[in-house]
Structures are given as structure tokens and as C-alpha cells.
Amino acid sequence: MSVKITDICIACGACIDECPVEAIVDDDDNPNDDGCYFVYNDKCVECVGHNDEPACATACPTEGCIVWDNIVEAQPHRDDIGEDKRTSHTPVVE
């Protein structure tokens, strides 16, 4: 499982300190070098066991920048989020 930061990101930095597992890196450390923050999907646990919903998405001031990404094998994920929402287009927080 994971969430994903899309190119709507304005690199404000509000999400990074909210992540309980340090899965987020800033635009300087983004391996895609696209000016956005980035979530390592092999680290993100969708905040399962930490928060009722993904804390990064709750903190993000944009509309829909953070979306549901594919499930990563062996990682915890939110069972109620089906494949239909893991299209890299469905915002975590509407």
C-alpha cells in the first residue's frame, strides 16, 4: 500500500513531519526530480496503526494532491480502499 503525491504538490512542507514512518522526502530528495515532494511506497503504511486516516493528506492544503496508490506486497494498507480507488487519481482526502 501506499499513498502518492501528485504534481499538484506546491512543496509547502506541511506533510513531511506528519509521517510516522518517514516515508516522505522533499523536492530536493525526490528521485524523480519533478519539484514535488515524494512518498516511498515501500515505506508508507497508509498510517495504519498510527492514524485514522493518512496524516499527510490531512495536513496537505491542496485539493487532491495526495492520492491512493497501488498496494505494495507485505505492507499494511487500508482494506476499505479498493482497487477502483487505487488509480493514482482518487484523492485520499476529498
Q: Interface residues with ligand SF4 (CB under 6 A)?
A: 3, 5, 9-15, 18-21, 23-24, 37, 39, 44-47, 54-56, 59-60, 62, 65-66
State the minimum distance, in angstroms, from the CB of residue 42 to ligand SF4.
11
State the minimum distance, in angstroms, from the CB of residue 73 to ligand SF4.
16
State the minimum distance, in angstroms, from the CB of residue 84 to ligand SF4.
19
- Going by C-alpha positions, the residue among 8, 72, 9 that lies closest to residue 44 is 72
Q: Which residues contact 90 (CB under 8 A, 6 or more apart)?
A: 67, 68
Cα separation, 72 vs 63, whole angstroms: 25
